[in-house]
């Protein structure tokens, strides 16, 4: 039996009650508390401060077609993450971002020997923090086993003076609000603020 639809047209009062403050695309930070230990001169603070853009990880359910008796219905399949994230950073004059990310990939697998430090070393916890209009953390997305897999080519051009960005691809196992590889639950805002200010792990 079809249930009657009782919803009414959305009013201004409904909008004002629901959308207190919209979320703005620049109210975020990528926070990596600590780089892999072999990267002794990496710029963790730069990865946080100079991060320009990223995409919040999506999630997909692999629906399955079920054809039977001349009909086709849908069944749920596996729920999976795409497991990749592209991040763009503003570079500085010392190429700190480029150098840090390149050394991270060498930690994943060194091109000179094709030996790896192992995932327990090169994959680290990362957090995507979103903020409300007052500057308080509104959401903490915990990214499990985060590591750099690609640094894209950086184009230099003597015919013009343009600001240089560094684009990199990161791999991760999954991202969720309810999991933290440092501790169960969310990091407190005080802990994040203190660690971010000194560029060290909490």
Q: Rounded to whole angstroms, how far apart are CA atoms 146 and 34?
A: 11
Whole-number Å distance between alpha carbons of 62 and 56: 19
At 119, list the tokens. Answer: 């995932």
Q: Does residue 190 lie in a domain region?
A: yes
- Dist. CA 36–CA 15, nearest whole Å: 46
**Residue at 27 is within a domain:** yes
Euclidean distance between CA atoms 54 and 138, whole angstroms: 17
Q: Are strands 28-31 and 124-131 parallel, antiparallel or unpaired?
A: antiparallel
Domain residues for the domain of 158 are 22-60+71-198
Q: How many domains does the chain have?
A: 1
**How high is the pLDDT of residue 27?**
94
What pLDDT is attached to residue 178?
A: 63
37: number of Cβ within 10 Å? 11
Is 7 a domain residue?
Answer: no
**Is the model more confident about 196 or about 26?**
26
What local confidence, expressed as pLDDT, does residue 59 receive? 87
Q: What is the pTM of this model?
A: 0.79
Q: Which token pair is 29? A: 């930070």
Rounded Cα gap, residues 200 and 48, in angstroms: 12
Per-residue pLDDT band at 92 (split at 50, 70, 90): very high
Q: What is the CATH number of the domain that holds 41?
A: 2.30.110
Whether 142 has a pLDDT exceeding 70, the answer reads: yes
pLDDT for 197: 43
Q: Say what the pLDDT of residue 40 is.
A: 84
Q: Can you give the pLDDT at residue 198? A: 37
Pick from 148, 130, 155: nearest CA to 140: 130
């Amino acid at each position: 039996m079809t249930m009657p639809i009782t919803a009414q047209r959305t009013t201004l009062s409904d909008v004002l009650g629901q959308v207190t403050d919209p979320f703005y695309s620049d109210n975020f930070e990528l926070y990596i508390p600590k780089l892999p230990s072999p990267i002794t001169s990496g710029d963790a603070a730069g990865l946080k401060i100079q991060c320009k853009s990223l995409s919040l990880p999506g999630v997909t359910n692999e629906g399955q077609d079920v054809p039977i008796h001349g009909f086709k219905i849908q069944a749920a399949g596996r729920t999976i993450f795409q497991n990749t994230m592209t991040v763009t950073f503003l570079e500085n004059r010392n190429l700190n971002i480029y150098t840090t990310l390149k050394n991270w990939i060498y930690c994943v697998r060194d091109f000179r020997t094709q030996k790896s430090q192992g995932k327990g070393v090169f994959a680290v916890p990362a957090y995507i923090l979103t903020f409300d209009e007052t500057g308080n953390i509104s959401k903490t997305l915990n990214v499990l086993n985060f590591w750099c897999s690609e640094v894209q080519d950086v184009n230099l051009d003597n015919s013009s003076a343009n600001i240089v960005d560094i684009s990199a691809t990161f791999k991760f196992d999954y991202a969720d609000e309810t999991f933290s590889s440092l501790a169960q639950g969310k990091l407190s805002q005080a802990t994040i603020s203190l660690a971010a200010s000194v560029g060290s792990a909490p």
